[in-house]
Amino acid sequence: MASTDEELIALSLRGDADSFNELVLRWERPIYALAYRTIGRDEDARDICQETFLRAFRSLPAFRGQAKFSSWLYRIALNLCRDWIRRERRTAFVQLPEGAEIAELAAQIEPVESIEDLVARRDLARVIERAMARLSDDQRTAIVLKEYHGLTFQEIADVVGCPLSTVKTRLYQGLSVLRRELTTIGRVA
């Protein structure tokens, strides 16, 4: 049976580096996805993912376990994303993955998915990214954490550091903006 996050943390604190690597393998994809959906850049999202785990590793002795380990990681990653946005002084969500990756993807899935389907999927991703770009940072964070990471309202409130009602309001407002954007281009009735 796989160890829980708490067990792996305890082992890591006793000096077992493999346990922390197990935590990394378990959580790096969600953290990368969170960073990518927040800042919209593949390479920088990977850097933020790495930095998140390095910071977590250094701060692990200070982790008291009041929140879930994943919530703690999300908070670190979101803070790094905020720093990145502030540093870059530009709106996130402006770039798609590089063309080379799409070509690579096409080569990998050639027999299953046609080029037309691939283009359609890429177009859809572009449409959603553009719609997400219309949201405020707070609305986008709330939607990403709820929609793609399945956090409860309370967990989002803890990660972001705001009241529960504010989380719900941000979600409602964000979804309404997305609805308007997607209706305009005929994606939603």
Token match 């979101």: residue? 78
146 lies in the site for other proteins, by CB under 8 A:
yes
* Token duo for residue 57: 């590793």
Using CB under 8 A, pick the residue from 10, 11, 67, 102 that binds other proteins: 102
Spatial contact of 125 and 101, defined as CB atoms under 8 Å apart: no
Question: Residue 4 carries which DSSP code?
Answer: P
What's the chain's length in residues? 189
For other proteins, give the closer residue by CB, 89 or 186. Answer: 186
Spatial contact of 11 and 19, defined as CB atoms under 8 Å apart: yes
User: Cβ of residue 87: shortest distance to other proteins, in angstroms?
Assistant: 19
Question: Which x/- pattern over 4-43 shows residues binding other proteins (rule: CB under 8 A)?
Answer: -----------x-xx-xx--xx--xx--xx--xx----x-
137 lies in the site for other proteins, by CB under 8 A:
no
Residue 89 exposed, middle or buried by CB count within 10 Å (0-12, 13-18, 19+)? exposed
140 lies in the site for other proteins, by CB under 8 A:
no
Q: Identify which of 37, 40, 31, 30 has the alpha carbon closest to the alpha carbon of residue 141.
A: 37
84 lies in the site for other proteins, by CB under 8 A:
no
Spatial contact of 188 and 179, defined as CB atoms under 8 Å apart: yes
88 lies in the site for other proteins, by CB under 8 A:
no
73 lies in the site for other proteins, by CB under 8 A:
no
H-helix segments, the chain:
5-13, 17-39, 42-59, 69-88, 99-108, 115-133, 137-147, 153-160, 164-184
How many residues of this chain bind other proteins (CB under 8 A)? 63
Interface with other proteins (CB under 8 A): 15, 17-18, 20-21, 24-25, 28-29, 32-33, 36-37, 42, 45-46, 49-50, 53-54, 57, 97, 99-104, 106-107, 110, 115-116, 118-119, 121, 123-125, 128-129, 143, 146-148, 152-153, 165, 168-169, 171-173, 175-176, 178-180, 182-183, 187-189
